[in-house]
Amino acid sequence: MMFPEARLYIDGKLRAAENGATYEDISPWTAAPIAKVADASVADMDEAIAAARRAFDTTDWPTNKALRREMVVKLGEKLRANRDRLAAYAHNEAGSALGTIAFPQVDGPLGFIDELLKMFDAIEWEKPMGERPAFGGMSQRTLVKEAAGVVGVITPWNVPFYINIGKVIPALLAGCTVIMKPAPDTPLLSTIFGEMAAEVGFPAGVLNVVTAADPVTLGEMLVTDKRVDLISFTGSATVGRRIMEKGAPTLKRLFLELGGKSALIVLEDLPNFAQAVCMGMVCYHAGQGCATLTRLLVPRSRYDEAVKILEAAYAGYQWGDPANPAHVMGPLISAKQRERVMAYIEAGKAEGARLIAGGNRATDKGPGFFVEPTFFVDVTNDMKIAREEIFGPVGVLIPFEDDEDAIRIANDSEYGLSGMVLSGDTERAMKIARRIRAGTIGVNFGASITVDLPFGGYKQSGIGKEWGMEGFDEYLETKAVAVGKFG
């Protein structure tokens, strides 16, 4: 399948890149091109930044709430009308198995737009703080919420549409102007925003979409340019640290949603122990999720039982059929990512961990970037495969002695993004969950990642929150205004 050429959207116009440059968008399923994409230059990005700055500084977009709401409603309607096209992009471009299209790839985030609009309607733009005497007189005080400014949105390739919705919609509703720079691997799930914005008549410069084959240069332009007020980035901790470094000279305001090495703690008193252990299989979207539970922690007293459960579950696991709506695992995003994951598998073997499933390229699935669902046992928490984010279908099993030991192992990580605790005793599970240093924790299969809850991590999992009212706050400034009453 070949899709139409993807164009840039800059200053209200859909257009080719400077000098007509393009690059190929490669399908993870086939390793073959599925579209040509505009390959933007430094000059193209400079024009996008200038347009966003001009739209913020010289138009009423930052102050006209009714206009912003109207435009986002129209954008949402257009995106929903193109649901099947979005699903085709997610399947062919992001390598999503059909079982992941509903959530998180397409249908979930499409449904979130209306909920974000309701949150927007509930924002308290001005908060009276009452009178207070100071400096010989009385002052009537008010707190005012205002747009933060020009936002550079840098998005990843794993669930791009989900993250685009989570960043772009709140930023636009808050009154910011946006330059979106997607990962080179998944441009179509971003360029469609530009197409739909052009169709509904977005004001020029308010939203800009700039694609490029080079993953670094244009992103660093956004980070270092003093005309950009805020960077909203989702990706690896390594890149997040570089963004902090490069943004420091301009004191860039940052939202960073970075990596994770999250723990699933299964306690010995759980009635459905086998079901819980199988949650530790790292297969969904080939493990390409920052909040994926990649460390399975079980009591040593039931460790051998857990190994047998996992061996049986992996032996019968079905995956990798692009036409099967029940499958939730397909290929990795690229040849580069496949090689990275295979290097981690080799590291696990070298460290003495024992493979009970997978460990190889899945050449029987076709020419794409497939790696078998892989699981290691006899793992200690100091091993590389237990400490670093692999971002592939690789899970590890680690035993613990008691509740205190489980908490220690879960917290013995540079990351703190997500986690889950499962027990037959909810109070016991809650005591453990409260002591896990992570931004989102599920207890007994509870869903802690939803549109109305803030999402973000502790430690090297990032800075700030996305989704929920806290996600809007990332794109807002708070101004204190005091009116004096003297005499």
Which residues are marked as active site? 257, 290
CA distance 209 to 207: 7
The continuous run of DSSP H or E covering 404 comes out as helix 403-411
Structure tokens, 409: 């192992």
Report the candidate in 321, 343, 332, 324 with the shortest Cα–Cα distance to residue 370: 332
Report the candidate in 161, 94, 84, 163 with the shortest Cα–Cα distance to residue 329: 94
Name the residue type at position 479. K
User: Which residues of 290-368 form beta strands (DSSP E)?
Assistant: 293-299, 354-357
- Helix axis angle for 160-174 and 65-81, nearest 10°, is 160
- 316 sits in the region (left: phi over 0; alpha: psi -120 to 50; else beta) called alpha
What is the DSSP secondary-structure string of 241-280? HHHHHHHGGGT-EEEEE----EEEEE-TT-TTHHHHHHTT
User: Residue 254: which residues within 8 A CB-CB, separation 6 or more?
Assistant: 230, 231, 233, 243, 244, 247, 463, 464
User: CA distances (Å), 473 to each of 52, 119, 416, in order?
Assistant: 20, 11, 21
Contact 125, 144 (CB under 8 A): yes
Q: Taking the alpha carbons of 132, 134, 137, 139 in that order, is the dihedral positive or negative?
A: negative
CA distance 10 to 48: 5
Q: Taking the alpha carbons of 226, 231, 236, 238 in that order, is the dihedral positive or negative?
A: positive
CA distance 282 to 1: 29
Report the candidate in 56, 55, 456 with the shortest Cα–Cα distance to residue 254: 456
